[in-house]
A and B are shown apart, each in its own frame.
Chain A
Amino acid sequence: DGGITQSPKYLFRKEGQNVTLSCEQNLNHDAMYWYRQDPGQGLRLIYYSQIVNDFQKGDIAEGYSVSREKKESFPLTVTSAQKNPTAFYLCASRDRLYGYTFGSGTRLTVV
């Protein structure tokens, strides 16, 4: 079945460490998105990519970086510059008819 796989499900980061969240899709979608969700709040856009080898900053990109070297993959790196990284991270892709598919998310905690 087609879908989006995010890994790991839970991730613990020490202060000052960079960590990378994986997002893989087998839907053949061109566009992919990363969202951050804080407890009791809605989703906010971190980065997006509309095509391979291209990506753009979203609304809260500071302290994050991404790459899009393959159509299937859109990893997100949370750098040490992100001062408050504890959150739930969701990856999504969009089809040409503007439907969106979400992954099951990664819960990141700073220890």
Chain B
Amino acid sequence: AQKITQTQPGMFVQEKEAVTLDCTYDTSDPSYGLFWYKQPSSGEMIFLIYQGSYDQQNATEGRYSLNFQKARKSANLVISASQLGDSAMYFCAMREETGRRALTFGSGTRLQVQP
């Protein structure tokens, strides 16, 4: 069974600073995909970034980058130059590569950006 662990229930960051949100995972599958989603108070799930288990380079999307350390089974999200609009819940998720191909989610980290 797959498992995603996010150990930071809440984080604070000053506007314009960088912040790292932690995510560790556990799976016995050799092939898997890792996702990060942002959930504002409205409830929608906004896709941020994706990393495949065989990707050689860390994924980047604008101000978001994923620090993928396969041996440590970690996939931390780095947000550079934080903005007030970044305040939200952030979820790390893993895709099942066989069977139901559903996403397994962590418990999330609430990020608050302070002016």
Chain A residues, CB < 8 A from B105: 35, 42-44
State which residues 57-115 of B face A: CB under 8 Å: 91, 93, 95, 100-108, 110
Task: Find out whether the CB atom of A40 lies under 8 angstroms from the CB atom of B100.
Answer: no
What is the interface residue range for chain A against chain B?
20 to 34
Task: Find out whether the CB atom of A41 lies under 8 angstroms from the CB atom of B100.
Answer: no
Known pairs A42-B105, A42-B108, A43-B105; A104 contacts B43 (CB<8 A): yes
Chain A residues, CB < 8 A from B93: 43
B45 part of interface (Cβ distance < 8 Å): yes
Task: Find out whether the CB atom of B33 lies under 8 angstroms from the CB atom of A90.
Answer: no
A69 vs B77: C-alpha distance in the bound complex, in angstroms? 39
Chain B: which residue is nearest A102 at the CB level? B45
- B104 CB to closest chain A CB (Å) equals 8
Interface string of A87-111 (1 = CB under 8 A from B): 0101010100011101011010000
Q: Is the contact region of chain A dominated by helix, strand, or loop, or is it mixed? A: strand
Number of cross-chain contacts by CB at 8 Å: 52
Task: Find out whether the CB atom of B95 lies under 8 angstroms from the CB atom of A98.
Answer: yes
Partner of B100, one of A44, A48, A90: A48
Chain B: which residue is nearest A33 at the CB level? B102
Chain A residues, CB < 8 A from B100: 45, 48, 50, 56, 58
A21 part of interface (Cβ distance < 8 Å): no
Task: Find out whether the CB atom of B43 lies under 8 angstroms from the CB atom of A105.
Answer: yes
Sample of 11 further A-B pairs with CB below 8 A, known A43-B93, A58-B102: A35-B105, A40-B110, A41-B107, A42-B105, A42-B107, A48-B102, A50-B100, A92-B45, A98-B101, A100-B103, A104-B42
| A residues whose Cβ falls under 8 Å from a Cβ of B | 31, 33, 35, 40-45, 48, 50, 56, 58, 88, 90, 92, 94, 98-100, 102, 104-105, 107
* Sampled A-B contacts (21; CB under 8 Å): A33-B102, A33-B103, A40-B108, A41-B107, A41-B108, A42-B107, A43-B93, A43-B103, A43-B105, A45-B104, A50-B100, A58-B100, A58-B102, A92-B45, A92-B103, A94-B101, A98-B33, A100-B103, A102-B44, A102-B45, A107-B43
